[in-house]
Amino acid sequence: MLPNKDGLEILKDIRGKVSNPILMLTAKGDDLDRIIGLEMGVDDYLPKPFNPRELIVRIKALLRRVQIDTHNSSTEQAIIEINGIVLKTKSREVFIKHRLQELTSTEFNILHTLIAHPNEIISKSDLTEQSLGRKLSLYDRAIDMHVSNLRKK
């Protein structure tokens, strides 16, 4: 409950400038608020009240994902091009029909995973592990929301 802007407006401002992972810690914890947050590009969402240990685990998971991204971007080819999509792994930029497309860090990871394996079927659990850096859990819909957002873009 911020004084001038709500968290989603701040998320829009931040997401347009940086690609760092964002964990939203909020008092708005109902399903619709979480879905909206995920649709708008938050990488993880934790409603209050929360268990401090869960917060630490979620932060560690986000940091692991960033470390995986950093390692992958330094060892893989710099540019992947397929069907009019150009993905620059080192700068983490995506161009569709020569236009820069703004993607969240998670959306970039998903697209990179899919493009790196053309003509292959990637299971939901494998996609979650490779792009989110964690195992798929029961009733986990985060990957679905990120893929839906990526499809829209």
What is the model's pLDDT at position 150?
92
pLDDT digits (tens, 9 = 90+) for 5-58: 888 888 888 876 777 788 888 888 788 888 888 888 888 888 888 899 999 988
pTM: 0.54
Contact at 8 Å (CB) between 105 and 69?
Answer: yes
Cα atoms in the 13 Å half-sphere on the side-chain side of 19: 18
- Using CA atoms, how far apart are residues 132 and 147, in angstroms rounded to an integer? 12
pLDDT digits (tens, 9 = 90+) for 52-79: 999 998 888 888 877 655 555 555 558 8
What is the model's pLDDT at position 148?
93
- Residue spans of the domains in the chain: they are 7-152
Residue 86 pairs in a beta bridge with 81, 95
What is the model's pLDDT at position 95?
93
Which residues have CB under 8 Å from 26's CB, separation 6+?
7, 33, 37, 45, 46, 47, 48
85 membership: H or E segment, kind and range: strand 85-88
CATH 3.90.1150.170 fits 7-152, yes or no: no
What is the model's pLDDT at position 111?
93
